[in-house]
Amino acid sequence: MVEGNSGFNSMVFQSSLEQDTNWDSVDYNNFVDESPGNKKRPLDEELEEQQREDQSKRKKSPKHPDTPDIKEVQHTLDNSDNNGNDLDYNDSSTFINPLGRELTISCLLHLSRSYYNTVACVNSSFRSLIRNGELYRLRRQLEIAEHWVYFSCSVLEWEAYDPYRGCWISVPKMPRTESFMCSDKESLAVGTDLLVFGKELYSYIVLRYSILTNSWSQGIVMKSPRCLFGSASLGEKAIVAGGTDAWGDILKSAELYNSETQTWETLPSMNRARKMCSGVFMDKKFYVIGGMDNNRQVLTCGEEYDLERGSWRLIPNMSVGLNGASGAPPLVAVVNNELYAAHYADKVVKKYNKESNTWVTLGRLPERSISMNGWGLAFRACGERLIVIGGPRGSNGGIIELNSWIPDAGSQPEWHMIASKHSGSFVYNCAVMGC
């Protein structure tokens, strides 16, 4: 296997083969059009004026540093060689004749996954590479990842944004079930899956969206189903902890999910039962932050789970001063193994000092980071940056805005709006998928 940048420019793969996957429904060309002639849906005057100001401030999303631009070279792959003979693309030695399988895969590993749908349409060999997840497993081994933001501002609808390419990506609607629509939902991105947890009439349910097939299916329910839990993912694995069961009892149990095998494993229980908590991975350990106990008292202690030792450690006063009991769970995110929090009451960003176990205020959140005690606002890590998702709502609709800041040592937050569009301005669920 050739590692590192292959030195080959990206290519546009074309094929006359009939597409038998769901990839034709993915819209990778829905870029934000800010041209003067572009017609917009009406907003009230205040939003119109603010949007014009934002457009003058907006900066283009940076490109992924390790991903070549597919538009640099336009090259067509035919299904025949120079002599007019048909090539057997199912032969592993002729993925891109005459490169062979290994060099071909090395090129694809460094191609932006935005274009994997095009690759899947070339032939059955390429389609198999995409749909069986082999490319993503190899990217994980080489620590190659692009982070996309998935969020929902409507009950059954999800949207995705690729900050490296600066484009919106359509996601199929979730299957419609009445009871699931009305229940509170949690979301979690792990591996190549987006999991959405909710309730049916008398039981819990998990819906699973796979980027390998661009489709929704029934997911695997936890061994101890729950809601209002803390969760986070690291590669193909995720941990959920705490929450409440179907009878309203607050839990201290935890489970590990493996997206490759789609299985749940029971972990040792936490020291304290808690619900409405948050979870993050930092320094390859899982942390549970904040939450409430059985007496509806706010818990300021955190807990650390060491995956190698298989044990929990209580951290007193880890979430002191973040937010109170009347609001959403702590809005926390980790970038480069540093923990940040959005204090939605004071509208500031804080950073956690691991040595002193204290929080330091860095600066302000984006000006229009509107929430209802933290609900409706998303604060996530997206690769090397922090992203805040939310926006204002006017009489004729709302605007969803994505603001980005790349933290630097000792610097104050400098937020740049990297995308916006007409949408519901209340974010129900949000997850970041890095693969």
Q: Is the pLDDT of residue 13 over 70?
A: no
Residue with tokens 């870029």: 31
Q: In whole angstroms, what is the distance from residue 57 CA to residue 389 CA? A: 17
Q: Which whole-number Å values give the CA distances from 419 to 34, 319, 364, in the listed order?
A: 11, 31, 19
pLDDT value of residue 422: 85
pLDDT value of residue 246: 87
Asked if 155 and 175 count as a contact pair (C-beta separation under 8 A), the reply is no
Question: Which has more confidence, 320 or 69?
Answer: 320
pLDDT value of residue 95: 63
Q: Is the pLDDT of residue 311 over 70?
A: yes
Q: Is the pLDDT of residue 154 over 90?
A: no
Residue with tokens 């890095």: 434
Residue boundaries of the structural domains of the chain: 22-29+65-141, 224-434
- Spell out the residues 6+ positions from residue 165 whose beta carbon is closer than 8 angstroms to its own: 28, 61, 63, 112, 114
pLDDT value of residue 397: 67
Tell me the CATH architecture of domain 224-434: 6 Propeller (2.120)
| Amino acid letter, 241 | A
Mean pLDDT estimate for the chain: 80
Q: Is the pLDDT of residue 25 over 80?
A: no
Q: Is the pLDDT of residue 68 over 90?
A: no
Give the lowest-confidence range in 241-245, 342-346, 347-351.
342-346
Using one digit for the tens of pLDDT, what is the confidence trace for 70-129? 333 223 333 333 333 443 444 444 466 667 788 888 889 989 998 888 888 888 888 888
pLDDT value of residue 388: 96
Distance of CA 144 to the CA centre of its chain: 15
Q: Is the pLDDT of residue 236 over 90?
A: yes
Q: Is the pLDDT of residue 133 over 60?
A: yes
Which residues lie across from 210 on neighbouring strands? 193, 215
Asked if 335 and 372 count as a contact pair (C-beta separation under 8 A), the reply is no
pLDDT bracket for residue 280 (50, 70, 90): very high
Q: How many CA atoms lie within 13 A of 376 on its CB side?
A: 17
pLDDT value of residue 394: 63
Mean pLDDT calculated for residue range 169-196: 86
pLDDT value of residue 199: 83
Gyration radius of the chain over CA positions: 23
Q: What percent of the chain has pLDDT over 90?
A: 53
